[in-house]
Structure 1
Amino acid sequence: MAAQAPAFWRRRGLPAWLLQPLSWLFGALARRRRRRTRPERLPVPVIVVGNIAVGGSGKTPVVQWLVLRLRAAGYRPGVVSRGHGGRVEGVAEVPADGDPAVHGDEPVLLAGTCACPVVVGRDRPAAARELLRLHPACDVIVADDGMQHYRLGRDVEIVVLDPATLGNGLLLPAGPLREPLARLAEVDAVIAHGGLSPALRAAIGGVPVFPMHLQGSALRALRDPARTLALEALRGCRVHALAGIGRPQRFFDQLEAAGLVVLRHPFPDHHDFSPSDLVFAEPAPILMTAKDAVKCKAFAPDDCWEFPVEAQIGSGAAERILEKLKNGRTPA
């Protein structure tokens, strides 16, 4: 089970300042590792989708969006991922009906929705090599959450940025940042899931920023995916909302904005759901994210619904990425 983020990450109080020396050490070690790591170049281009902070920022919907855009442009993409929450030793391909307990929740969701090969493994270059061995027709690889895995050479870097996840703006362990804000000025594109402060825009510099929001309108029954229900049909109704994602608040807010009366049930990111998690004293429809639905389908009650969403990303983002692919590799 993923741990909850420490409360002190949200502000620069005494705990954060006491941990500041460890943050400096973490930053120095991270810079040293990046300088000394020799990236492995693959025979096909690699697009990394990641972030600079701990926690969810909406990377999975962006990967889904990107795979669709690449396929529309004539590419044959594949995806590599870590497989958080899974038990894969080494590397493994993820079937469309894969087991989230084995392969991880996000890879199973991607394998079931992207209609492209997905391979998981802690060693990202090894996962990418396995993907190309199994699917030699693949001509571009999308690395899900691969920003800090510098052993995997990359041609395009995309940061999915949710300003709410940046907290106090300090590096681990004093704050939630895996890399300093200055790293944003080195990527090829920033996809922003929320408004940017002037300070954040200054840190990004001249890198193009594309706004994103998640859009959905229909629910899908977990027990019978062919059965759908318009979200509008539950306006004014009380519902149980479950979310084991990086920012459950965003899911709850989206449902409330649609007019639902939401009984909130937040869980840690990558939570390993059990049947008891779906039992409530008050009878009401149960709604959850697509990422959580892949783990609950086997034991979901009848009135349990998935709310799939799609990333809506500002115009020009796909063209920017395709242009970077066309014009060749970025320096290692």
Structure 2
Amino acid sequence: MSDAPWSSRALRAAARVYGHGAGLRRELRRKTPRRLERPVVSVGNLAVGGRNKTPVVAAVARMLHGWGERPAVLSRGYGRETPTRDVVVVRDAEHMRATLAESGDEPFMLARELPGCCVLVHPRRARAGAYAEEALGCTVHVLDDGFQHVELARDVNLVLLTVDDVLHGEVLPAGRLREPLHVLEHADALLAVDGSASRLRMALGRTPDVPIFEARRHLGPARPLSGTTDFSRLHEAPVLLVTAVAEPSRVADDLRRVGWNLADVLSFRDHHRYRGEDAALLARRAREVGAHAVITTAKDAVKLERYLPIEVPVAVVPLEVVIEPVDEFAAWLRSRLSLDPEGA
């Protein structure tokens, strides 16, 4: 007799226990949240794995900076090689101030991409935010991966959600959700990923009490990291995609959708720390599959570049997220944060 039904039953039972525990943790921690002087925008999700949180954080920070604010991006700095108990200022508004090892890959990438913004790392994001206000003059905060970090009070809760998250809405270990779907009652707006707002509304099965915007991914032109080739025509040749993100298949699909010819995909676990032997491996794989170059993501590039050049050209294909409708989202966010509509 097959034991598959028993395994499924055990997973569902474990998921109920996990979901109950997640609910208790949320309620206990949100009773005495720390409130900063300046407003906080949280960007988070329900599912484990990639949901484009980091590009959304960048999009929100750029929008706030464009309005004359001085945003502080607050990150826990997952996967740092040299963690410390002190707040790490990865960058202030003018300069980079920390190394990749001190920062973690995503904060370091954000720091490079967000001139005029500040990026800080500490597991207790309230401590980093207080430092950003007192020492760096920051006027608004963007909390990276913050939906479950309820110790810090926030003024806006943005939650990224896919239709699949809703249709297969089981919590760990039976599914991929960190918390049950009912915690969406704490969201101020939902950002539909990989689909339209209307499809997400249909999947939810009711009209939510919060607005739903759409997080649209856009790939930029290849940017050279090392080697010599015509990078402007690189998408016409077979290339090797190398990446260490939560969902490499999504990156590959995005590239193929806009016409890239992927000879192969070499993927590592999320937040993988590249070593010299990895660089040798990807050069060898590129030769084996006849790739004219290696392409990678911005998150990978900050970790790979120390091992470049290699025998084949390497380029990064940047990803940006636009929250649509742009004007509607901007007006909504201004209103929620009570920011001057004329800007600073």
Give yes or no for TM over 0.5: yes
Normalising by the smaller structure, the TM-score range is 0.7 to 0.9
- What is the match of residue 118 of structure 1? 119
Q: Shift of the alpha carbon at 1:54?
A: 0.8
Equivalent runs, 1:238-253 vs 2, <5 Å: 238-253=238-253
Do the aligned partners of residues 235 and 222 (structure 1) sit closer, same or farther apart at CA in structure 2, a change above 3 Å counting? closer
Q: Shift of the alpha carbon at 1:199?
A: 5.4
- What is the match of residue 152 of structure 1? 152
Larger Rg: 1 or 2? 2
TM (norm. structure 1) is: 0.86
- What is the match of residue 43 of structure 2? 49
Matched, 1:182 2:182: yes
Do the aligned partners of residues 31 and 177 (structure 1) sit closer, same or farther apart at CA in structure 2, a change above 3 Å counting? same
Matched, 1:59 2:53: yes
Aligned with residue 30 of structure 1, among 5, 8, 22: 22
Matched, 1:229 2:231: yes
Between the two proteins, the alignment pairs up a number of residues equal to: 312
Q: CA–CA distance in 2 between the matches of 1:77 and 1:16?
A: 46
Q: Shift of the alpha carbon at 1:33?
A: 2.2
Contact 1:155 1:325 survives alignment (8 Å): yes
Q: CA–CA distance in 1 between the matches of 2:7 and 2:206?
A: 25
Residues 175-206 of structure 1: per-residue CA shift (max 9 Å, x gap): 21111112224311111111245653336713
- What is the match of residue 317 of structure 1? 329
Contact 1:211 1:314 survives alignment (8 Å): yes
Q: CA RMSD in A?
A: 2.5
Q: CA–CA distance in 1 between the matches of 2:273 and 2:206?
A: 37
Matched letter for residue 265 of structure 2? R
Do the aligned partners of residues 14 and 228 (structure 1) sit closer, same or farther apart at CA in structure 2, a change above 3 Å counting? farther
Task: State the identity as a percent.
Answer: 34
- What is the match of residue 299 of structure 1? 307
TM (norm. structure 2) is: 0.83
- What is the match of residue 212 of structure 1? 215
Aligned with residue 89 of structure 2, among 86, 89, 93: 93
Q: CA–CA distance in 2 between the matches of 1:203 and 1:268?
A: 36
Residues 149-193 of structure 1: per-residue CA shift (max 9 Å, x gap): 111111100012234566832112222111111222431111111
Do the aligned partners of residues 286 and 97 (structure 1) sit closer, same or farther apart at CA in structure 2, a change above 3 Å counting? farther
Q: Shift of the alpha carbon at 1:309?
A: 1.7
- What is the match of residue 102 of structure 1? 102
Matched, 1:286 2:294: yes
Matched, 1:39 2:33: yes
Matched letter for residue 34 of structure 1? R
Do the aligned partners of residues 85 and 103 (structure 1) sit closer, same or farther apart at CA in structure 2, a change above 3 Å counting? same
Residues 220-245 of structure 1: per-residue CA shift (max 9 Å, x gap): 11238xx9833xx2344210001211
Where does the alignment leave 5 or more consecutive residues of structure 1 unmatched?
1-11, 328-332
Do the aligned partners of residues 222 and 282 (structure 1) sit closer, same or farther apart at CA in structure 2, a change above 3 Å counting? closer
Bigger mean CA offset, 317-326 vs 21-30: 21-30
Q: CA–CA distance in 2 between the matches of 1:240 and 1:296?
A: 14
Contact 1:193 1:211 survives alignment (8 Å): yes
Q: CA–CA distance in 2 between the matches of 1:242 and 1:280?
A: 12
Matched, 1:17 2:29: no
Q: CA–CA distance in 1 between the matches of 2:113 and 2:5?
A: 43
- What is the match of residue 3 of structure 1? none
Residues 97-134 of structure 1: per-residue CA shift (max 9 Å, x gap): 74333311100011111121111111121222222232
